[in-house]
Structure 1
Amino acid sequence: MSSSRVLIVGGTGHMGRRMVRASLALGHPTYVLFRDENINDMEKVELLLDLKQEGAHLVSGSFDDRDSLVRAVRDVDVVISAVAGNHIQDAILEQLKLVDILKEMGHIKRFLPSEFGMDPDRMADALPPGNQLFKDKSRVRRAIEEAGIPHTYVSGNCYAGYFLGGLGEIAKGLIPPRKHVTLFGDGNVKAVWNDEKDIATYVVKAAHDPRTLNKAIFVRPPANVLSQREVVQIWEKLIGHELHKACISAEDWLKTMEGKPLGLQVAIVHNIHLFYEGCLANFELSSAEEASKLYPEVKYTTVEEYLKRYV
Structure 2
Amino acid sequence: MGEKSKILIIGGTGYIGKFIVAASAKSGHPTFALLRDATIDDPAKSQLIQGFQNSGVTILKGDLKDHESLVKAIKQVDVVISCVGQMQLADQLHIIAAIKEAGNIKRFLPSEFGNDVDRARAVEPAKSAWAVKVDIRRATEAEGIPYTYVSANYFAGYSLPTLMQPGLPPPPTDKLVIFGDGNVKAVFNDERDIGTYTIKAVDDPRTLNKILYIKPPKNIYSFNEIAALWEKKIGKTLQKIYVPEDQLLKQIAESAMPINIILAINHSVFVKSDQTYFDINPSFGFEASQLYPDVKYTTVDEYLNQFL
- TM-score above 0.5, yes or no: yes
In the alignment, the residues of structure 2 paired with residue 208 and residue 169 of structure 1 have an alpha-carbon distance, to the nearest angstrom, of 38
In the alignment, the residues of structure 2 paired with residue 268 and residue 226 of structure 1 have an alpha-carbon distance, to the nearest angstrom, of 18
Partner of 1:75: 76
Is contact 1:161-1:196 (8 Å) kept? Answer: yes
Partner of 1:158: 154
User: Please, which of 208, 214, 218 is the counterpart of residue 219 of structure 1?
Assistant: 214
Partner of 1:149: 145
CA distances 1:79-125 after superposition (whole Å, capped 9, x unpaired): 0000012x2xxx123200000110111110100000110111112x4
Partner of 1:303: 300
- Report runs of 4+ in structure 1 exceeding 4 Å deviation: none
Partner of 2:264: 269
1:144-223 matches, cutoff 5 A: 144-173=140-169, 175-223=170-218
SS of equivalent residue, structure 2 residue 249: helix
SS of equivalent residue, structure 1 residue 247: strand
Give the C-alpha shift of residue 43 in structure 1: 2.0
In the alignment, the residues of structure 1 paired with residue 167 and residue 133 of structure 2 have an alpha-carbon distance, to the nearest angstrom, of 24
Residues 170/195 of structure 1: CA separation in 2 closer, same or farther (3 Å cut): farther
In the alignment, the residues of structure 2 paired with residue 286 and residue 308 of structure 1 have an alpha-carbon distance, to the nearest angstrom, of 34
User: Please, which of 276, 280, 305 is the counterpart of residue 281 of structure 1?
Assistant: 276
In the alignment, the residues of structure 2 paired with residue 43 and residue 154 of structure 1 have an alpha-carbon distance, to the nearest angstrom, of 28
Is contact 2:117-2:133 (8 Å) kept? Answer: yes
Is contact 2:212-2:286 (8 Å) kept? Answer: yes
Give the C-alpha shift of residue 186 in structure 1: 2.2
Partner of 2:92: 95
SS of equivalent residue, structure 1 residue 121: coil
- AA paired with 1:192? V
Partner of 2:124: 128
Is contact 1:168-1:228 (8 Å) kept? Answer: no
Q: TM-score, normalized by length of structure 1?
A: 0.94
SS of equivalent residue, structure 1 residue 172: coil
Residues 21/39 of structure 1: CA separation in 2 closer, same or farther (3 Å cut): closer
CA distances 1:167-217 after superposition (whole Å, capped 9, x unpaired): 1223334x2211111111221111111111111111111111111101112
Partner of 1:50: 51
Deviates more, 1:232-241 or 1:35-44: 35-44
- AA paired with 2:298? T
Give the C-alpha shift of residue 64 in structure 1: 2.9
- AA paired with 1:279? D
Give the C-alpha shift of residue 235 in structure 1: 1.3
Residues 216/302 of structure 1: CA separation in 2 closer, same or farther (3 Å cut): same
State the Cα RMSD in Å.
1.5
Give the C-alpha shift of residue 144 in structure 1: 0.5
Deviates more, 1:245-254 or 1:13-22: 245-254
In the alignment, the residues of structure 2 paired with residue 296 and residue 278 of structure 1 have an alpha-carbon distance, to the nearest angstrom, of 26
Give the C-alpha shift of residue 259 in structure 1: 4.4
Q: Identity percentage over the alignment? A: 44
CA distances 1:128-173 after superposition (whole Å, capped 9, x unpaired): 2221122111110111011111100010001101111111223334
Is contact 2:39-2:45 (8 Å) kept? Answer: no
Is contact 1:39-1:45 (8 Å) kept? Answer: yes
Unaligned runs of 5+ in 1: none
Is contact 1:162-1:170 (8 Å) kept? Answer: no
Give the C-alpha shift of residue 126 in structure 1: 2.5
Is contact 1:63-1:94 (8 Å) kept? Answer: yes
In the alignment, the residues of structure 2 paired with residue 130 and residue 200 of structure 1 have an alpha-carbon distance, to the nearest angstrom, of 24
SS of equivalent residue, structure 1 residue 99: helix
Is contact 2:6-2:77 (8 Å) kept? Answer: yes
In the alignment, the residues of structure 2 paired with residue 282 and residue 151 of structure 1 have an alpha-carbon distance, to the nearest angstrom, of 24
Residues 206/172 of structure 1: CA separation in 2 closer, same or farther (3 Å cut): same
Q: TM-score, normalized by length of structure 2?
A: 0.95
In the alignment, the residues of structure 1 paired with residue 246 and residue 83 of structure 2 have an alpha-carbon distance, to the nearest angstrom, of 34
Partner of 1:252: 247
In the alignment, the residues of structure 2 paired with residue 17 and residue 211 of structure 1 have an alpha-carbon distance, to the nearest angstrom, of 25
Unaligned runs of 5+ in 2: none
- Matched residue pairs, number? 305
